[in-house]
């Protein structure tokens, strides 16, 4: 059998095999490209130092508790303010000179990205509410470019903020000094879904984590 005859004989098979390979590669690519759902974080999944001892064992049904705090404009901010919203939360204080300025700058970056997205908001809690009065928060908000309709800086009862931080957002360490509600805030940003569930933790000082957070916001929106 000549080479030409051999080629003609197996030409159809070769064509079929090539098409089959292309289809298989395309299917695999599509499977790998599908966005995986974000985890739903429970207290048992988070470092114990960030979680109140009463809920460290909790492995399901965790949600952000109701709250009532005061923002930079003296307005009462509650869970209803964030009803049916995806939001990013953190803990800070206005006189912090270490990680807070970096975190606030990154929150500002997120604000720019979501400025026209009605589904997404931001929420920053002061861990030194006696110092961070409404007037102090307003001054800080103006300095940092906070847009009121997108981003609330909140102050209020220290016990409530402490319990939100340790029992809801799973985001701060206890101080071990001073009064029982003293806390050490971390660099964590928390992504909260429309069902009041934690869907992600991010290092608010790292640009790559901010990029990942913005990607995860889009994933959450697709999920809704």
Strand partners, 174: 183
Between CA 178 and CA 127 the distance in angstroms is 14
**Would you say residue 27 has pLDDT above 60?**
no
Q: Whole-prediction pTM value? A: 0.83
List the domain boundaries for the chain: 1-34, 43-223
Q: Which helix or strand (DSSP H or E) is residue 70 part of?
A: strand 68-70
Superfamily of domain 43-223: Glutaredoxin (3.40.30.10)
Strand partners, 183: 174
Residue 133 DSSP code: -
Task: Please state, for a pLDDT cut of 70, what percent of the chain lies above it.
Answer: 82
Between CA 107 and CA 128 the distance in angstroms is 19
* Mean pLDDT score across all residues of the chain: 88
Between CA 107 and CA 112 the distance in angstroms is 9
The per-residue pLDDT for 25 is 55
Strand partners, 185: 172
Is position 100 annotated in a ligand binding site? yes
Please write the tens of the pLDDT for every residue from 120-167.
Answer: 999 999 999 999 999 999 999 999 999 999 999 999 999 999 999 999
In contact, 92 and 103? CB cutoff 8 Å: yes
The per-residue pLDDT for 75 is 98
| Nearest residue to 81 via CA among 129, 148, 137, 134 | 148
Average pLDDT over residues 23-45: 70
Is position 21 annotated in a ligand binding site? no
Is position 125 annotated in a ligand binding site? no
| Nearest residue to 182 via CA among 203, 165, 199, 202 | 165
Q: Which one has a higher pLDDT value, 102 or 7?
A: 102
């Amino acid at each position: 059998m000549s080479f030409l005859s051999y080629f003609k004989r197996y030409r159809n098979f070769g064509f079929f095999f090539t098409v089959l390979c292309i289809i298989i590669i395309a299917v695999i690519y599509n499977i790998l490209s599908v966005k995986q759902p974000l985890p739903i974080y429970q207290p048992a999944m988070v470092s114990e130092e960030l979680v109140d001892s009463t809920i460290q064992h909790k492995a399901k049904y965790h949600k952000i508790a109701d709250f009532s705090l005061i923002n930079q404009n003296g307005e009462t901010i509650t869970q209803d303010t964030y009803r049916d919203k995806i939001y990013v939360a953190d803990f800070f204080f206005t006189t912090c000179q270490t990680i807070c300025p970096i975190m606030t700058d990154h929150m500002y970056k997120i604000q720019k990205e979501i400025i026209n997205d009605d589904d997404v908001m931001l929420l920053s809690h002061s861990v030194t509410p006696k110092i961070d009065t409404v007037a102090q928060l307003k001054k800080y908000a103006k300095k940092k470019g906070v847009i009121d309709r997108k981003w609330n800086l909140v102050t209020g009862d220290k016990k409530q903020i402490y319990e939100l931080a340790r029992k809801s957002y799973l985001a701060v360490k206890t101080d071990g000094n001073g009064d029982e509600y003293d806390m050490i805030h971390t660099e964590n940003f928390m992504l909260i879904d429309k069902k009041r569930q934690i869907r992600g933790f991010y290092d608010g000082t790292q640009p790559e984590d901010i990029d990942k957070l913005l990607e995860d916001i889009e994933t959450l929106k697709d999920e809704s």
